[in-house]
Chains A and B, each alone.
Chain A
Amino acid sequence: MDRLFELAPEFWVAAAETLYMVALTLLIGGFFGLLLGIVLYTTRPGSLLSNKPVFTIVNVVINFFRPIPFIIFIAAVQPFARYVIGTGIGNDALIFALSIASSFAISRIVEQNLLTVSPGVIEAARSMGAGPIRILRTVVLPEALGPLVLGYTFVLVALVDMTAVAGAIGGGGLGAFALTYGYRQFEPAITWAAVILIVVFVQLAQFFGNWLARKIMRR
């Protein structure tokens, strides 16, 4: 326990690093995931801008990257990280890799949630003379907003999980903290301190996501 008090400064830095990595990845991966998801949704056969070649290509690309285990993916994209952001190690390299990996995962969640919008509602908008882009912007996205918020909450929780491997490429965060000071130094109390804080983060995120979705869906 004493050791935990000694390490308190490092602990809070690690917590802040986790939040930083999760927040930035959610922003970047969330944005590109939304775009890809919209492309998947709108180009699928029978949809607003159905386009078989585009749909097939995007679909194949996503299916190519999705099954790669994240810890290997980090190593695999390291050369690109060096090229694009100037470093292949540390928190920023992790954000780079995780943003790419999560874009693909998020695109599927976005696609699934957009598909829950009733085709009848889209038909109604078409019958009023609305074009595909307008329907996407003013009907599909607003109608799917509640489920989308829940989907992003799920992603947020998954991102907390994935940032825990940052230590593998010299990054920080609560995962690295737990492994370095807890696991490797035989201090289960330290490991558990990190575990408990992560649980608190996840609970808060889930609570907020549920609250927001409920507010949007008015139930």
Chain B
Amino acid sequence: MALVSLTDVTKSYPSPEKGGAPIVAVDSVSLEIEAGDVFGIIGYSGAGKSTLVRLINALEPTTSGTIEVGGRTITSMPERELRGIRLEIGMIFQQFNLFNSKTVRANIAYPLQVAGASKAEIATRVDELLDFVGLADKARAFPDQLSGGQKQRVGIARALATSPRLLLADEATSALDPETTQEVLQLLKRVNREFGVTIVIITHEMEVIQSIATKVAVMDGGRVIESGDVFDVFSSPQNPSSARFVSTVVKGVPSPAEVAVLRERHDGRIVTISFRDGGASQSAVFLDLANAGLEFELVYGGINDIQGRAFGHLTLAIRGADAAVDAALAQVGARAEVTEVA
């Protein structure tokens, strides 16, 4: 059974103008998040993803639809009971939201105090977490003495304090530089692997999804327009908006303008070969072309690795007799998808 399941969930806000139509932030979204997933939700700002994540721990009440977390329906739960549920769901934020008046240690201890843990339990747990995030030497520092990456590591330690099964990450790396982003993402990966914590990560950066997500949902205008395994969505996005996100990290098929440039620089026929899986077929493709006595060079594209599976698009300029090229491409077509671009 899914750890989190959303059925036809809608969240709307009353219009700021009197009598205006309500603003729909999340529009009939249904999603299943399995235990152990790193579930990415990607979309442009205003797509409704931050609102969606706040519905999962009921920081915002749902307008209609049902949300179940760990088999319990939270959408009909009174606030007092929801507080208990929130202890089992960690959350980290874009702006870290650390308590500036408290030390790193006190920040991490806070959720444990809310949960009613004893002083001794708190002390041991906080030490464990400080070690896990590599900040044992910063225990007595205040948040304003830390770098962005360190702050987010404190945020992660604090979110994990009560050993939640689910961690919600709201644009957790968007305020960080690329290097620190990777550092934090690797830490989240460890949280997922070592503690089996299910992670829901909201982002507008495809790199984040590419680095750690196993599943992805693409949001646009409050709706989930595509969802599935990260590999599937990356290798063959079904929706133009998803394709646009994918193209930010995957150099794929050349655009018409790029084709024109390639045409100018290279003679022969320009062909894009798309590899869907494994990449093992690459050598076979090159062998086919070589055996046909054709001269070819790689002019555009790349191979990507998602969750240890490779896919990509390679554009080649092939020179040789037309008939020979046709025959060779027919052979290649059996191994990978071939598109003649110029």
Interface set of A (CB-CB < 8 Å, partner B): 118, 120-121, 123-131, 134, 138-139, 142-143, 145, 216, 218
Contacts and interface: CB of A to CB of B under 8 A. Distances in A.
A129 B86 contact: yes
In the A-B complex, the 3 residue pairs with the closest CB atoms? A124-B97, A128-B111, A129-B86
Contacts, number: 63
Given A128-B110, A134-B114, A120 B102 contact: no
B95 interface: yes
Given A126-B59, A218-B142, A142 B86 contact: no
B83 to A, nearest CB: 4
A75 B46 CA distance: 57
Given A128-B86, A128-B111, A129-B84, A142 B101 contact: yes
Interface string B43-61: 0000000000000010100
A216 B142 CA distance: 12
B168 to A, nearest CB: 8
Contact of A143 (B83, B89, B100): B100
| Contact residues of A: prevailing secondary structure | helix
Interface residues of B, number: 29
A142 B90 CA distance: 23
Contacts of B95: 118, 120
A131 B113 CA distance: 12
A46 to B, nearest CB: 12
B99 interface: yes
Contact of B114 (A118, A120, A128, A218): A128
Given A124-B99, A128-B114, 18 more contacts: A118-B97, A123-B97, A124-B93, A124-B98, A126-B59, A127-B59, A127-B89, A127-B168, A128-B87, A128-B158, A128-B162, A129-B84, A129-B85, A129-B87, A130-B83, A134-B114, A142-B99, A142-B102
Nearest to A143: B101
Given A123-B59, A138-B110, A218-B144, A131 B99 contact: no
Contact of B115 (A129, A139, A143): A129
Contact of A127 (B80, B84, B91, B98): B91
Contacts of A218: 142, 144
